[in-house]
Amino acid sequence: MTRPTQAPRRSDFEIDTTDFKSETVAIIGYGSQGRAHAMNLKDSGCKVIVGVRAGGTGAQRAAQDGLTTAEPADAAKQADIVMILTPDMTHEEIFREQIAPNLEAGNALMFAHGFSVHFGRVQPAADIDVMLVAPKGPGDLVRREFERGRGVPCLFAVHQDATGKARERALAYTSCIGGANSGVIETSFAEETETDLFGEQAVLCGGATELVLAGYETLTEAGYQPEVAYFECLHELKLIVDLLYEGGLGKMHEFISETAIYGDLRSGPRVINDETRARMREVLKDIQDGTFARDWITENQAGKPQYAALLRKDLEHPIEKTGAQLRADMPWLQPGANAH
The per-residue pLDDT for 335 is 79
Contact 182, 153 (CB under 8 A): yes
Residue 338, pLDDT score:
59
Give the pLDDT confidence score for residue 315 in this predicted structure.
96
Q: Is 113 a catalytic residue?
A: yes
Query: Is 230:216 a contact under the CB 8 Å cutoff?
Result: yes
pLDDT of residue 65: 96
- The pLDDT assigned to 14 comes to 79
pLDDT < 70 regions, the chain: 1-12, 338-340
CA separation for the pair 241, 329 (Å, rounded)? 23
* 3-state DSSP assignment of residue 186: strand
Give exposure, 197-233, as e/b (b: 16+ Cβ within 10 Å). Answer: bbeebbeeeebeeebbbebbeebbeeeeebeebbeeb
Could you count the other beta carbons within 10 Å of the beta carbon of residue 331? 8
pLDDT for 333: 86
Q: Other CB atoms closer than 10 Å to residue 105's CB: what's the count?
A: 10
Tell me which of 91, 113, 118, 159 is the catalytic residue: 113
**What is the predicted pLDDT for the residue at 182?**
86
